[in-house]
Amino acid sequence: MSKRLVILGAGESGVGTAILGVQKGYDVFVSDGGPVKEKYQEELNKHGIVWEANQHTEEKILNADEVMKSPGIPEKNELVKKIRKKGIPVISEIEFAYRYKGNSKIIGITGSNGKTTTTSLMYHICKTGGLDCALVGNIGYSFAKQIAEDPKEWYVAEISSFQLDDIHTFRPDVAILTNISEDHLDRYDYRFENYIHSKFRITENQTEQDYFIYCADDPVTMQYLEKYSIKSNPLPFSMSKELPQGGFIRNGQMTVAVDDERMQMNVNDFTLKGKHNQNNTMAASLGGVTVGIRKEKIRVAVQTFESLAHRMEPVSTIRGVEFINDSKSTNVNSTWFALESMDRPTILILGGVDKGNDYSILTDLVREKVKAIVCLGTDNRKIHEAFKSDVQLMVNTSSADEAVKAAFHFASPGDTVLLSPACASFDLFKNYEDRGDQFKKAVREL
């Protein structure tokens, strides 16, 4: 009898797992409680996979030998509770894919902020260095599907805490933890410690042959580091102190040291600007050295990397007012980094679905740099309460078009309008990409 694999969720990770599962001889059933996108319907049908949409048929699910749960489905979901109660093993897509990776190697990147930028730069370094590699995971392409359809020698994987929650054997050869700040607390019983534990799981199966790259300036990482028995080789990076092994920046010069290898580079040569991006660049450069990419190639990659859509993306300058799209900032810490890099008076567009945000960490930067706040969301009370004594101009809007017009109205030549919402987008938009795209469209129509 084939092992029965039930997959909850027919998105990128669910469909990818289904394709690999069928290829490896599993009896696969895919169930999605909502509608399934047409492209995923076509893929499931092409591979002869049985699936359902807009419902979960319990008798077809609770007879599973194993369940792959898509990252968007929380533990408190009633069906998940029933699966757990029956003792059916629950895994994530990266765990399933890991079983079939063969001799290939994995660079896994997680963190509250900067992980998409670091992952994309890491992939660019690997490609520039001539590695046979693929970019997978939370960044948009299924790890399982990549293994099924086009296996590579190296995988550069962006990994969320939700994906780490259901690993058992998954082990990256190189693990990068960019930082840890409060995020997704609604999924972790509003206990920061639960979320921190999830992030550190990236190291739990690593061995003495592996590397763990982390930020020595991140207080949460450093506070919890000692609480885990990490076997891999530590490679910290810092902007505040020189390190014998790892990375640091001194007087505008980045130094990266791994074993006997050392490379140096001037930060003015980085295409990614801002202090937070210097950390991301150090992390990715360290990753490049650990996998044996030549220093010259890393240098070229760092100098030629193009920044990502929706992450501090310059949109346009209109009548002397600069517009920046940072829609991917879906938590307060991410918005802090964005504001910190502003060097002109800023009109800040904030708001959306609040994930248990504490806005107080933004207070000093808002006082120093922000001349007006434009709220973009259905419920903006918390933002008004947080900043009412710090900013004189604050207005509510309910569309990207309204927000852009209000921000432009408040702005003078030489100012910057920054969309950096610190919140999820699901109250008014499909996702952060949709929010960013609507923002860009509204700017271009001014």
Q: What is the mean pLDDT of residues 96-111?
A: 97
Q: What is the sign, positive or negative, of the torsion defined by CA atoms of 426, 366, 183, 272?
A: positive
Residue 363 labelled as part of a binding site:
no
pLDDT at 270: 87
> Which of 331, 270, 312 minimizes the C-alpha distance to 125?
270
| pLDDT, tens digit (0-9, with 9 covering 90-100), for 107-142 | 999 999 889 899 999 999 999 999 999 999 988 699
Question: What pLDDT shows up at residue 218?
Answer: 94
Cβ-contact 200, 176 below 8 angstroms: no
Tell me the percentage of the chain whose pLDDT exceeds 70.
100
pLDDT greater at residue 308 or residue 161: 161
Q: Looking at the chain, which residues constitute the CATH 3.40.1190.10 domain(s)?
A: 96-304
112 is in an annotated binding site: yes
Q: What is the pLDDT of residues 155-178, one digit of tens each?
A: 999 999 999 999 999 999 999 999
pLDDT at position 416 over 90: yes
pLDDT at 268: 87
Cα 13 to Cα 394: distance, rounded to the nearest angstrom? 40
The CATH 3.40.50.720 portion of the chain extends over 4-91
**Residue 115 marked ligand-binding:** yes
Range(s) within the chain of domains with CATH label 3.90.190.20? 313-445
Contact (Cβ atoms closer than 8 angstroms) between residue 247 and residue 285:
yes
pLDDT, position 363 = 96
Give residue-wise pLDDT tens across range 270-296: 888 778 889 999 999 999 999 999 999
Alpha helices in 254-344 (DSSP H): 275-290, 295-304, 332-340
Domain 4-91 has CATH 3.40.718.10: no
Mean pLDDT of the chain, nearest integer? 94
Residue type, 14: G
Say if residue 114 carries a ligand binding annotation. yes
Tell me the mean pLDDT in the region 409-434.
94
Classify 230 as helix, strand or coil. coil
pLDDT of res. 52: 97
For residue 308, which of 283, 326, 296, 292 has the smallest C-alpha distance? Answer: 326
Which of 425, 417, 420 lies closest to 443, judged by CA? 417
| CATH fold of 313-445 | Protein-Tyrosine Phosphatase; Chain A (3.90.190)
The reported pTM is 0.79
DSSP H helical segments within 184-268, as ranges? Answer: 192-200, 219-225
CATH of 96-304, one of 3.40.1190.10, 3.30.43.10, 3.40.50.880, 3.30.420.10: 3.40.1190.10
Q: With CA atoms as reference, report the closest residue to 200 among 235, 158, 230.
A: 230
CA distance 405 to 408: 5
Annotated ligand binding at 130? The verdict is: no
In tens, the pLDDT along 182-216 reads 877 778 878 888 999 999 999 999 999 999 999 99
